[in-house]
Structure 1
Amino acid sequence: MAVAYAVLAGALFLTGVAWYYVSQNARTQEQSRFDEAAQRTLQAVDRRMNTYVDAMFGTRGLFAASRSVERGEFRAYVRSLDLRRRYPGIQALGYARRVPAGGLEAHVESVREEGYEGYEVRPGGRGESFPLVYVEPEDAANRSMFLGRNMYAAGVHRAAMDRARDVNLPRASGKVAPGGPAGGPGFMIYLPVYRNGAPVSTVPERREALQGYVVAVFRARELLEDIFIQQGDPSVDFKVYDGAEFGEEYLLYDRGSTAGADGTGPAPLFSQTSTLQVGGRLWILRFSTLPGFGTSPQENLPRLVLYSGLALSLVLFGLTAMLARSRTQAERARSELEEANRELESFSYTVSHDLRAPLRSINGFSSILQEDYAGRLDEEGRDYLRRVSAASQNMGRLIDALLDFSRLRNRKLRTERVDLSGIARSIADELARRRPERRVEFAIQPGVTARGDPDLLRVALENLLGNAFKFTGKQERARIEFGVEDAGGAPIYFVRDNGPGFDMAYADKLFGAFQRLHKTDEFEGTGIGLATVRRIVERHGGEIRGVGAVGRGAAFYFTLDLDREKPSRRKQRFPRWFRRSGS
């Protein structure tokens, strides 16, 4: 029974390991989904605000193109912008005119002569003021709230206006309450307008030439709600704070706190804090998952693996216990176990082959759609179709890589003296033939040989040289080297390139399956190549190390020694400096 319990313990251990890795993979996918939602929303806010600021610059251009912009001209221009439809979140777009000290009475009189008999500057004062004289849309709420309002009298507005005046750039106020029917917090952005033809190269010149400000009044909830509805994830909470501190007094927008997102319930599964500059002012964007996040099918996969593993562990335990009771049962159970082992060994093949059928269907129907129905689809539909086809083809390549990787461990080595230089040269010629437009210099040391399996060593060099060729794709003049160095009488083979390199802090991830140091949209690949190289090198009694630096290329060094059996002796093949810096 001791053997049976040992089998049970081992099976439970493997089940635990499998459950852990599947759980981590599911969590990684959910993390990626959350990160993408947060990044998508952040970029949408940034794009939207840039678009609104561009509209303010266009309004300033109206003043630059005219000696004196009359109220009717301003109204016609703003109406052409169609603020309510094209710029949701802007409550009003206006112009604050500079009124020097002592000129307030004359200013009020001139506006009243335009038909605004009840016009007053609020609040007044003896110093310089900047009342809003044009406000569009000039509905009852905006007219009552903003027309004649001296924005310069309030400290939060004065600070933003002074900064905008001195740097000749749009500058945002802090959190304010714009008012109006919508209510809620908001903010304003001020863009200085200078006297036409006046020099504005220095701060004193800008202060002297200042005529007024283009003013945009924003309702934060309407602005950010519209962005989140279009770009956000409904299972992610989204808050925006004005300035560098959290707190209710700084809160510009809260999509709607629920348990876990506002700190009163269970902690969110994921959270993230980002910052954004809006009109020269810092915003903090806080993203948190809501309880409904993570209900995708992947969430049930770890439990399925765990329960299946437990069931399989109990089955193996029962079988092993039966083996201990009788010789006949032992022979029968051994046969069943051998069959089970064969099934487990072929499991990856079976799954891979079963996956090919739907992939062929996807590719086939995608081709039919592209050939026969492309004209009925818009550009977005054709783009989705191209993505489906590309994803299925990438899945096919990944299946092939997995099959090749799984075959390496059990393949019998066929050893002979191998011309590595010749193999490297043939691979380089093939790479150059595939991409004739690229300018790549291959420096292949002649006469490099080693004892090993020629087919496996070709696979290793194809992956190393192929990676170097791929990662130097953005270099104007790429250089790829292959050769051998002498380390105390023992050869160390290398492949070097002048590509983007990598951070040595992540060197330990280089040779793991599905481990990538670059995003797939930067460099394509399956994530299996270096793991395959490592397995081939280790089957030849050697080791492999990677050395690189960001922006300075990468180098991979490996040894091949079928005569050495102890790993501890093989490690001495690398120089001391290399063992410290390698992965």
Structure 2
Amino acid sequence: MTRHAHLHPDPVHELLRNLPDPAFVVDEEWRFTFVNALAAAFVGWPGKPEDLKGLPLWETFPDARLTPLFDLGHRVMTLRQAEHIEVHYDPVQTWIELRAFPFQQGIAVQYRDITPRKQAEAERERAESLVEQLKTQHEALLDANEALNAFTHSVAHDLRSPVRHVLGFTALARTKLHDPDAARRHLDVVENAGQRLSMVIDAMLVLARNTTLPLDVEPIELEALTQQVWAELSPDRQDRTVDWTLQALPTVQGDRSMLHQLLSNLLGNALKYTRDRAVARITVWAERTPPGWTFHVQDNGVGFDPAQAGRLFQVFQRLHSDTAFEGTGVGLANVKRIAERHGGAVTAHGSPGEGARFSVYLPSP
């Protein structure tokens, strides 16, 4: 009786043959030793899968798909360990995951279409981006509501008071037309109230402009701009002794007019709140705070209660009376708004009678 040998198929080939994905095996010379039916269809082979055996891989695969496959295969053949990559085929908008592992002297490769997963990931990223946009818009809306509340407060107090003075003292002046000196005094009050009213309106217009106008970003030599602003403030330094120190400042990316306004407010405040000092000392310098720069304006003026620092940057909130130091309560709110519109921030440090330091951080690309 003749015995027939039982042929046992290679278990790896059987596994690859039954995979729900295209799979094949190539030897060290990149010639097919096994191809399953899905892989044959994947490369557009018109015949039987076994007819591919012995053919070089590059004769069957589209050129655009060879480079990532060769790169992956060379690593696996060299390192003799399994690896995988994800490849995007742009013309057909398909994502494929390539898995390769050592097999005999060559490698076994499996293709898997991961387009649905990639599309889901992209949708999730878009949703997360939308959430971030909504969060940013929500924060901007809260800021706008805060400014609106401050505006309402201003209308009720800062604007109503000078208007009341204009109306009241105009009426009084009419009754004193027979007394020119008294009428003149009343009209002086009317004029001062009108000037105050004009200052507050102008300040609100500047705040609105810095809130709504788009940024015109360009390289700004901060040192040159600071020198320009300091020269413009020369009338505020007349008949005063001011020890002014300007250290080297960097070039930053920003809107020139807005940064001019920011520096004008900070340096103007430093001059204003040091006016009772025999020698006013004002220092400006910068330090690198990756990924940007922080520049500081420090003075030896009246300072402020650090517990009240948060109020400094709120619209129409002032820590000093109008009789002591004139102002509208909008300047530092403008500084905060301009810094934030540049992606930065402003902080304040000080104590009563010991001066103040304002620090503005600006990111750098």
Task: Please give the TM-score of this superposition, normalised by the length of structure 2.
Answer: 0.52
Match of 1:449 in 2: 251
Q: Which has more strand, going by share of residues? A: 2
Shift of 1:391: 1.4
Q: Which residue of 2 aligns with 1:547?
A: 349
- Write the distance in 2 (CA, Å) between the matches of 1:382 and 1:448: 52
Other-structure match for 1:394: 196
What is the one-letter code of the residue matched to 1:448? P
Residues 135-164 of structure 1: CA deviation (Å, up to 9, x unaligned): xxxxxxxxxxxxxxxxxxxxxxxxxxxxxx
Structure 2 residues not aligned, in runs of 5+ = 1-137
| Alpha-carbon shift at residue 448 of structure 1 (Å) | 2.9
- In 2, Cα distance between equivalents of 1:489 and 1:538: 16
- Summarize the alignment of residues 148-547 of structure 1 with structure 2, pairs less than 5 Å apart: 376-378=180-182, 381-487=183-289, 490-547=292-349
Provide TM-score, normalisation by structure 1. 0.33
Q: What's the offset of the Cα at 1:409?
A: 2.1
- The higher radius of gyration belongs to 2
Contact kept in structure 2, 1:545 and 1:556, CA below 8 Å: yes
CA distance in 2, matches of 1:437, 1:374: 40
Deviation at 1:457, TM superposition (A): 0.3
Alignment of 1:97-116 (within 5 A): none
Query: Runs of 5+ in structure 1 lacking a partner?
Result: 1-9, 30-297, 302-351, 564-583
RMSD: 3.8
In the alignment, residue 407 of structure 1 is paired with which amino acid?
A: R
CA contact (8 A) 1:452 1:562 kept: no
Distance 1:25 1:417, change over 3 A: closer
Q: How many residues align?
A: 214
Find the aligned partners of 1:441 and 1:384 in 2 and give their Cα distance: 41
8 Å CA contact 1:496, 1:553 repeated in 2: yes
Shift of 1:440: 1.4
Q: Which SS does the other structure have where 1:559 is aligned? A: strand
1:275-296: CA deviations, max 9, x gaps? xxxxxxxxxxxxxxxxxxxxxx
Structure 1: distance between partners of 2:317 and 2:225? 27
2:352 maps to a residue whose letter is V
> Which AA in structure 1 matches 2:219?
R
Q: Work out whether residues 541 and 562 of structure 1, in 8 Å CA contact, stay in contact via their aligned partners in 2.
A: no
Could you give the per-residue CA deviations for residues 41-64 of structure 1, whole angstroms, max 9, x where no partner exists? xxxxxxxxxxxxxxxxxxxxxxxx
- Asked if structure 1 preserves the Cα contact closer than 8 Å seen for 2:249 and 2:285, the reply is no
Structure 2 residue matching 1:560: 3-state secondary structure: strand
2:181 and 2:300 map into 1 onto residues whose CA distance is 43
Q: CA deviation at 1:534?
A: 0.5
CA distance in structure 2 between the aligned counterparts of 1:458 and 1:407, rounded to whole angstroms: 14
Instruction: Measure, in 1, the Cα distance between the counterparts of 2:311 and 2:283.
Output: 23
Deviations 1:57-82 (A, max 9, x none): xxxxxxxxxxxxxxxxxxxxxxxxxx
Q: Which amino acid aligns with 1:446?
A: A
Question: d(CA) in 1 for partners of 2:263 and 2:290?
Answer: 24
Please give the alpha-carbon distance, in whole angstroms, between the structure 2 residues aligned to 1:529 and 1:432.
19
Matched AA of 2:272? K
Cα-to-partner distance string for 1:312-343 (whole Å, 9 max, x where unaligned): xxxxxxxxxxxxxxxxxxxxxxxxxxxxxxxx
Question: CA 1:389–1:421 in structure 2 vs 1: closer, same or farther (change >3 Å)?
Answer: same
Q: 1:475 to 1:487 in 2, by over 3 A?
A: same
Q: Is this contact kept in 2: 1:540–1:562, CA < 8 A?
A: no
**How many Å separate the matches in 2 of 1:429 and 1:512?**
28
Aligned amino acid, residue 362 of structure 2: L
Q: Percent identity?
A: 36
Task: State how far apart, in whole Å, the 2-side matches of 1:527 and 1:494 are.
Answer: 21
Give, in angstroms, the shift of residue 489 of structure 1.
6.7
CA distance in 2 between partners of 1:406 and 1:434 (Å): 26
Structure 2 CA distance for aligned equivalents of residues 374 and 457 of structure 1:
52
1:437 Cα deviation after fit: 1.0
Cα distance, 1:490 vs. partner?
4.1
Q: 1:409 to 1:485 in 2, by over 3 A?
A: same
For residues 561 and 546 of structure 1, what CA distance do their matches in structure 2 show? Answer: 18
Moved over 4 A (4+): none
- Give the AA of the match of 2:248: P
Tell me how far apart the structure 1 counterparts of residues 350 and 178 of structure 2 sit (CA, whole Å). Answer: 45
TM-superposed CA distance for 1:375, in Å, is 6.6
- For the residue of structure 2 that corresponds to 1:427, the secondary structure is helix
**CA spacing shift, 1:488–1:536, aligned 2, 3 Å:** closer
Q: For 2:233, what is the secondary structure of its paired residue?
A: helix
What is the SS of the residue equivalent to 2:212?
Answer: coil
Change (3 A) 1:375 1:446: farther
Alignment partner, residue 318 of structure 1? none
The one-letter code of the counterpart of 1:376 is P
AA at the equivalent of 1:518: H
The 3-state SS of whatever aligns with 2:275 is coil
CA contact (8 A) 2:220 2:252 kept: yes
Summarize the Cα distance change of 1:375–1:449 in structure 2 as closer, same or farther, 3 Å threshold. Answer: farther
Distance of aligned partners of 1:382 and 1:549 in 2 relative to their CA distance in 1, 3 Å threshold: same
Measured in 2, the distance between the counterparts of 1:507 and 1:496 equals 15
Deviation at 1:395, TM superposition (A): 0.8
In 2, Cα distance between equivalents of 1:414 and 1:440: 34
Question: 1:71-110: per-residue Cα shift (whole Å, max 9, x none)?
Answer: xxxxxxxxxxxxxxxxxxxxxxxxxxxxxxxxxxxxxxxx
Deviation, structure 1 residue 25:
4.8
